[in-house]
Amino acid sequence: GQNNVQGCGDAGCLPNAFPGYQTIDDASVRKFVSAWSNHDLPAKPGLVITDMVEAMSQGRIKAMYVTGENPLLSEPDLRHAEEAFRNLEFLVVEDIFLHETAQIADVVLPATSFAEKDGTFTNSERRVQRVRKVIDPVGESRPDWRIVSELARCVSRKLDLDLEAEFDYDHPSQIFDEMAGLAPMIAGISYDRLDDEGGIQWPCLTPDHPGTRYLYEHDFPRGPRAKFVAFEQGPAADEMPSKRFPLILNTGRILYHWHGGTITRRVPNLMARTPDLQIAMSAEDGARHGVGDGDWIRVRSRRGDLEGRAMYTEKQRPGEIFVPFAKLKDHAANFLTNAAFDPDSRIPEYKVCAVRIDKIET
């Protein structure tokens, strides 16, 4: 994921947990009620993004606040996703770029980049590290924490909730201290320690705790042995090749672009390396479908189509083609992808859908 995806999860940016991965249905986390002066905290999990799209489409979600995300590039079956977002009565986007989702928003709140704010990043090895501001925010942009705090105070005044003091922060260190007081796994971490010692790996339970280099080094929360879970391997998706759509589409990253390219597509040198969308395939499939190396082709699925250049490669297995996540020249893989998702993780099936290819005659 992007930098600080781990930190976002740690801070409770999940539909089923408060900060520190404390599940919302655990009675012991009612401490958040008193800490936040809020007696209406959720008692059951919320929705993940795949469920949100359907709820928007059906009119059950009427407003959305999107921050640090570009779902109109990252969601599968983009045409359906865009219809769902356009069905909203009100859309707010908080981001550093006017990306595809921001372009259809009712309100855009300009955020700051990492270089314009103080804070922390936590990487995938659970190491909490300081981020230090290098320059002042550009233009009217503001750090995320300040935007949310100011918005919360405005809502409190508008609804006469008397909660302005709950969001009266002057620095992100105050927010981190509040979180550390509620989440035992980071209780021993502070900005002062991070400034003195560098990165600290959670769990870090007390101010004199050194941090935890290896998670579960000696045992697991349930005892000395991990729980083994057996499962049955089901079909990859509810959509397999057919006479009309004889090939399998696989999607993924390429060297010059990260995921959908919301950031990397703004770098001229990287775009110069990828002037066209390249669609990787075996020479065997190219010959079978009348497509030569370098030909312009159209890829179609049951949901949409895109155009790009065929690229022969020995890395691609016959019967499959590969299209990168990155959107190039208005063509994105997710116009094709299947919106089916795993029933447990709710992660979309980005890796398998049935497609066909046709040469574009010039």
Tell me the pLDDT tens digit for each residue of 80-112.
999 999 999 999 999 999 999 999 999 999 999
Reference 69, options 271, 260, 331, 337; nearest CA is 260
pLDDT of residue 327: 86
Distance of CA 291 to the CA centre of its chain: 35
Reference 303, options 86, 81, 103; nearest CA is 81
Reference 120, options 36, 48, 177; nearest CA is 177
**340 pLDDT tier (thresholds 50, 70, 90):** confident
Token output for 163: 């909660």
Second CATH level (architecture) for the domain 247-359: Beta Barrel (2.40)
For the chain, what are the domain ranges? Answer: 5-201, 247-359
Q: Picking from 158-172, 204-218, 332-346, which range would have the lowest pLDDT averaged per residue?
A: 332-346
**24 pLDDT tier (thresholds 50, 70, 90):** confident
Give me the percent of the chain exceeding a pLDDT of 90: 72
Distance CA 245, CA 94 (A): 39
User: What type of residue is 139?
Assistant: G
Give me the percent of the chain exceeding a pLDDT of 70: 98
Distance CA 234, CA 253 (A): 25
Rg over CA atoms, the chain: 24
Residues 6+ apart with CB under 8 A from 110: 94, 95, 96, 139, 140, 141, 142
pLDDT of residue 30: 78
Q: Residue 285: phi, psi to the nearest 5?
A: -70, -40
pLDDT for residue 288 is more than 80: yes
Second CATH level (architecture) for the domain 5-201: 3-Layer(aba) Sandwich (3.40)
